[in-house]
Amino acid sequence: MVLVLALGDLHIPHRAPDLPPKFKSMLVPGKIQHIICTGNLCIKEVHDYLRTVCPDLHITQGEYDEETRYPETKTLTIGQFKLGICHGHQVIPWGDLDSLAMLQRKLDVDILVTGHTHQFKAYKHEAGVVINPGSATGAHSSITYDVNPSFVLMDIDGLRVVVYVYELIDGEVKVDKIDFKKTTATAPSAH
Amino acid sequence: MLRGKLKLPEKARRAFPDRLGSIVAGFNEKDEENRGLNHGFELGEELETFQPNGFGLDRELDDYKVEDEKSDGELGFRAPQKPDRDGADSVSFSDVFAADEKRSDLEYEFSQKEINLEKLQRVASSGLPDGGGLRATAWKVIISSSFAHLQLLLGYLPASRDLWEKELIENQSKYAKLKEELLLSPSQFSKREDEPLRSNKQYAGSDADGQLARHDVSTDDHPLCLGQASVWHQYFQFTEILEQIDRDLLRTHPDMKFFSSNSSLSRKNREAMRNILLLFAKLNPVIRYVQGMNEVLAPLYYVFSTDADEKNAANAEADSFACFVRLLSDSVDHFCEQLDNSSVGIHSTLSRLLGLLKANDEELWRHLELTNKVNPQFYAFRWITLLLTQEFDLHSILRIWDCLLSNPFGVQEMLLRVCCAMLLCVKTNLLSGDFVDNLKLLQHYPKINIEHLLQVAQDISPDTSSFCLSP
């Protein structure tokens, strides 16, 4: 039972001052085992804050990040699942599911986590699942209107993943749950 | 008064040669600490008495009448490395015969329909035989029926075989159910909850491509839920306790492969003990888990899982849980901080211990209480709450627990007697030391002959002063 937090596109301090307080009160250290961040934090202070929530942090480079040494894409294996991370501004057209599917096949992962569109999406296609956690601060985006702050928490348990989507709508935290299973087990590979 | 009682038992005398030999080989650091002032004096003594020929020693011992009491305590210092197999030191024909007789006695008792609890306890007080699962069965019977005895407040209850067998089976099923309820991880819990949902409506996104279906669980449970009723929240609250339990389990009896090796069997044992302790913590939110409970559980689990009977050994976890709960129920009040100063709390028990000491040896009592002000809280707290598991090695603990369980008046009463006996047995060392020496000695209790200790404990006269208080 591994809890993985996926979030991104915070754009602190340029477009948002901080995470919404209701989100901050929920993100208590000690519960989460891994954090996956799609990028655009943008400053080091946010990086440090995320490290206090969980020491195992994976970030990819967003176009506004002030730290330039994050990788463009990253893959990791958690339990039976292979996860891939990419900010998404590199994939054109932005947010296009077919192009993202190409990226997913290229990275050869079961779950691809991308961002940039600031809109939550969870989509399944034959190569796997694409999850976009949206923007954790609800920062302004040129391609999406009415952005609600959102992030994603995945509970990986064997061949099953339960995805909990946390959204802040009208000042209230709404939680949705998505379930999916993988059919075949991943062969053990060098991590 | 005590001089006569503290005569060296036969076995110890014959064992002396080995123990003295280790002295010449080199002192243990601990001995030097403990001796303190008497260092020079004792050195001279030992070197003189050392003789290659064992027979000479017996005569020498008689000369050192003054040393009689002291040597009792010395016994422990002599051979700290020697395994405490006191019972097996000198295996004479009569010993073997007695052990066999005991074994067949017990087997006969267990085969009866009505088990004579009194007889069982009498046999237990002189030590139960190792191996063969007799100890395991005896403990189970005594613990389960003594609990019933306390509960029903009757005179002693003859233990009927059918009754206690039935109870064991009931316990095992109760335990399995408890495990299922309380030890499930939240993911498994939610998986179980989803099963009926899944079968009822076809998950839209499960096989077809496209947007994955979302289900609102804002009001239900989710991992970051902070509500008290949340399964997840409760799970995270216990992770800290779990970490503590895991750490303590790794430290349990590090010298025994049964508990601390990396083999799968040992891991299985630790997992079983972990389940038991976690379950206990969940069922007792007041005291939760206290460091040391793993030590109390260890002998129980060890005895039950090394039972020769395969079926019994397989149920060791459930049986240990039941017996652990019962054993701790006696002393559970000691763990609760709010009850510390009440009449059932730890302070009252400690003062009972002192009362017992005063009634049996006023000189020692005065020395500890008034001269050195060695508060019983500093040493006896651990003795009493953990049932002496931290003071001796496993083999001695098993023997002592045989004795504790054999007391028809209950474990606590016998425990106080054994604690008092422990104080009496190191009396000379205590009398000759100051506060620091006394404390060091009592907090790292030296190894002594267990049979002798228990004999002293049996002989202790009860403290009658407290009886005057009750109407």
Looking at residue B76, its pLDDT comes to 34
pLDDT in tens, A54-65: 999 999 999 898
Residue whose pair of structure tokens reads 């000369």 in the numeric block: B63
Looking at residue B371, its pLDDT comes to 75
Residue type, A126: E
Res. B71 pLDDT band, cuts 50 70 90: very low
User: What percentage of chain B's residues is helix, strand, coil (to nearest 5)?
Assistant: 70, 0, 30
- Asked if the model's pLDDT at residue B350 lies above 70, the reply is yes
CB atoms within 10 A of CB B248: 19
Residue among A26, A155, A180 whose CB faces B226 most closely: A26
- Cα B380 from Cα A52, distance rounded (Å): 42
Provide the percentage of residues in chain B whose pLDDT is more than 90: 0
Is A123 close to B211, i.e. CB distance below 8 A? yes
Res. B379 pLDDT band, cuts 50 70 90: confident
- Asked if the model's pLDDT at residue B34 lies above 50, the reply is no
Burial class (CB in 10 A: 0-12, 13-18, 19+), B327: buried
Q: Please measure the distance between the N-terminal and C-terminal CA atoms of chain A and give it in whole angstroms.
A: 18
Residue type, B340: D
Res. B164 pLDDT band, cuts 50 70 90: low
Looking at residue A133, its pLDDT comes to 93
- Cα B296 from Cα A184, distance rounded (Å): 45
Mutation site, B184, B185, B187, B233, interface A, largest A CB count within 10 A: B187
Looking at residue B195, its pLDDT comes to 64
Which residue positions in chain A have pLDDT lower than 50? 188-191
Cβ neighbours of B203 in A, within 8 Å: 179
- Asked if A3 reaches chain B (Cβ–Cβ under 8 Å), the answer is yes
Residue among A123, A160, A177 whose CB faces B217 most closely: A177
Give Dmax (Cα) for chain A: 45
| Tokens matching residue B196 | 């009926």
